[in-house]
Chain A
Amino acid sequence: MTALTMPARPARDARLRPVPWRRMAWVTWRQHRAALCGVAVFLGALAMYLWLTGLQMHHSYATACHPVGSLACTFIFTGRYHITEIIVSIFLQVVPALIGAFVGAPVLARELETGTFRYAWTQGIGRLRWTIGKLVLLAVALVAAAAAFSVLFSWYDQPFAAAGYAIPFSARVFDLREVAFPAWTLAVFAIGVLAGTLIRRVVPAIAATLAVYAGLALVTALYLRQHYLTPLLTSKVNLPGSAWVVSHWYTKGGKFAFGAHGPQIVSAVRKLCSGGTSGLSPAQCLTQHGYTQWASYQPGSRFWPFQLIEGGWLLALSVLLIATTVWLVRRRAA
């Protein structure tokens, strides 16, 4: 489009030029700075704790873990740090949920609950720009904060992983890592925003967001994640520690016999090896009697592909939820 092909109506065009997007930056900051500062203080306090304990752990690792399997190393990492690391990583699971729900749910719910949307949506900027501007800025701020925090967590967890006490695929730490953590934060924010728009009240919207997050996180950890890529199959007994064993079973004569857990294998071992008194492990006993042990597993090398897959679908889900919210706001009748 050149100036020559356009009708020259500068006055009218100037009159209709929309309110610029950048104005939403101050608006968003002023209206949500309490929530954003809350997030900063909350994450900052946690980061400070991770930083201080992380320094200790890194120091202990550097002094005690040469070689990694040494007694001193094992002693320090199982005795001194293990419980702490477990508690910390379990506690951190709720962080994306809290941040996303407390920032996301009120964005529209508060406007709808207090009636201020009648002010906001009749200003010259229009409700579309108002909604998209706010949601995008808040989402970017939360993702940036969460990404920075997850980098720190990965650093904190590094000696643990190196000493062999934290499997990267473990449900406890996988979603605290660099891609999954910000992606979950974004997804909960998007859930919160949509819940707030549908429920129109702040507190019930926060509760609903936390409930939906809990369900989604549970389903993902228990059922979904292991299927991101087709598991590899092996009959080798010893898998590297970084591998994530999805399932484990025995065959005999090329036919499925039983799974590695449950009453069937117990009774089989009892029958074949006189109740486990022969000094053989169940696996050795079964191998001696012609059973083959199988495992399907996700190798440790798939950690980053899995992070990206999880980040990818959570991002797609978030975009879908936010787009739905924008659509609802656009057609919402007062």
Chain B
Amino acid sequence: MSMNVIETSGLGKRYGSTWALRACTLAVPRGRVAALVGPNGAGKTTLLNLVAGLAEPAAGAVTVLGGLPAGSSAALDGIAFVAQDTPLYKNLSAADMLHLTASLNRRFDHHYAQARLGELSIPLNRKAGKLSGGQQAQLALTLALARRPRLLVLDEPVAMLDPVARHDFMATVLTAAADDGVSVVLSSHALAELERVADYLILLSLGRVQMAGEVDDLIASHRMLTGPAAEAGKYADRPVVHVRRGTAQAHLLVRATADDPVPPGWESHPVGLEELTLAYLREPGATALPGPVRGRHIQPSGVTR
């Protein structure tokens, strides 16, 4: 049975008179590592706060884990959220943070948490505020995973980390996803990193969903065509996402598969996720969305609050 860990329909959030997120309709299937990308101010944090139940929608609806209203106690029970800058109580020791998180949740895997902190050589009696940035992030992640969540939501988890800490952090996330079947949604600026970890991509731009889908599908449905710059204009009628012109050659990112015919004088190459994402980020008008999402669990609702 397929289940969506996140489903939104017409979701919107407004701060004052600005819409941080609007008309957002998504369905993220279970068992994915979904990357949420987009420029600053695109609404990534807003979307994740709505999913975690920290914020209330101004329009539309959001459900998680197969139809639970975001923020309900069943939803909170199944989702572990690590917010931006991994907030921890700086004056509590790592051991206290474990005890605190265990007290605040129905499940908590002490063995797992202690084993992980041991592997990371994070001393249990050290205050959270005295740990390095990488250790704080790892502690926050360990607390989240020891709750045995079905969905792990990470907001910019590696933004402040050095490359080694970043690699270690993502390795922990991927292990949890692979071994325990935890679904993961993470927002990030680090596009190169995502190529390695993500199998589902959501691209937000100016508060709207610009691209969403399985990474494999997105890659398979786009090609990079390279040919003489003088002929680039000929393809105006084709679904071209982005054009990059050199002096002699032009590179066209088009919506096409490997089987589609290639014009004479042009070469067709597969695209990488980073290349694809950058092309869409440079063309905020272009969209690549799956067909209408069947929101089984979402009742249409008008503007609330």
Contact = CB atoms under 8 A, between A and B. Distances in A.
Contact of B87 (A27, A30, A118, A125): A118
Contact of B77 (A27, A118, A124): A124
Interface in B75-108: 76-77, 79-81, 83-85, 87-90, 92, 96, 99-101, 103-107
A251 B101 CA distance: 73
Nearest to A333: B55
Contact of A119 (B73, B74, B87, B103): B87
Contact of B56 (A17, A114, A126, A331): A331
Contacts of A122: 52-54, 76, 79-81, 83
A26 interface: yes
A124 B89 contact: no
Interface in A2-21: 15-19
B83 A23 contact: no
B106 A31 contact: no
A274 B65 CA distance: 94
Nearest to A24: B103
A119 B87 CA distance: 6
A116 interface: yes
B222 interface: no
Contacts of A19: 103-106
Contact of B104 (A17, A114, A130, A334): A130
B76 A124 contact: yes
B81 A124 contact: no
Interface string A320-334: 000000000001011
A254 to B, nearest CB: 64
Given A19-B106, A115-B83, A125-B104, A334 B73 contact: no
A121 interface: yes
A30 B147 contact: no
Nearest to B86: A119
A114 B99 CA distance: 20
A17 to B, nearest CB: 7
Contacts of A120: 104
Contacts of B104: 19, 23, 27, 120, 123-125, 130
B81 A118 contact: yes
Contacts of B147: 123-124
B48 to A, nearest CB: 10
B73 A16 contact: yes
B49 interface: yes
Contacts of B56: 331, 333
A119 B137 CA distance: 13
Most buried by B among A117, A121, A124, A334: A124
Contact of B76 (A26, A117, A126, A331): A126
B105 A118 contact: no
A123 B13 CA distance: 22
Contacts of B73: 16, 18, 124, 126
Contact of A30 (B54, B55, B83, B92): B92
A324 B54 CA distance: 19
Contacts of A124: 73, 76-77, 104-107, 147
Contacts of B55: 333-334
Interface string B4-18: 000000000100000
Nearest to B104: A123
A30 B95 CA distance: 12
Nearest to A31: B89
Interface in B154-184: none
A120 B56 CA distance: 17
A130 B90 CA distance: 19
B305 to A, nearest CB: 9
A24 B147 CA distance: 17
Interface in A24-60: 24, 26-27, 30-31
A331 B52 CA distance: 14
Interface in A75-128: 114-126
Given A123-B76, A124-B73, A331-B56, A115 B87 contact: yes
Nearest to A122: B81
B276 to A, nearest CB: 31
Contact of A27 (B54, B85, B100, B107): B100
A116 to B, nearest CB: 5
Given A19-B106, A124-B104, A116 B53 contact: no
Most buried by B among A15, A16, A17, A19: A19
Nearest to B14: A333
A190 B187 CA distance: 38
A16 B74 contact: yes
B99 A115 contact: no
A16 B72 CA distance: 10
Interface of B: 13, 49, 52-56, 73-74, 76-77, 79-81, 83-85, 87-90, 92, 96, 99-101, 103-107, 140, 147
10 contacts: A16-B73, A23-B103, A27-B103, A31-B89, A114-B90, A115-B83, A115-B85, A122-B76, A124-B147, A334-B55
Given A118-B81, A121-B54, A122-B79, 13 more contacts: A19-B103, A19-B105, A19-B106, A26-B99, A114-B87, A119-B88, A122-B54, A124-B73, A124-B76, A124-B104, A126-B76, A130-B104, A334-B54
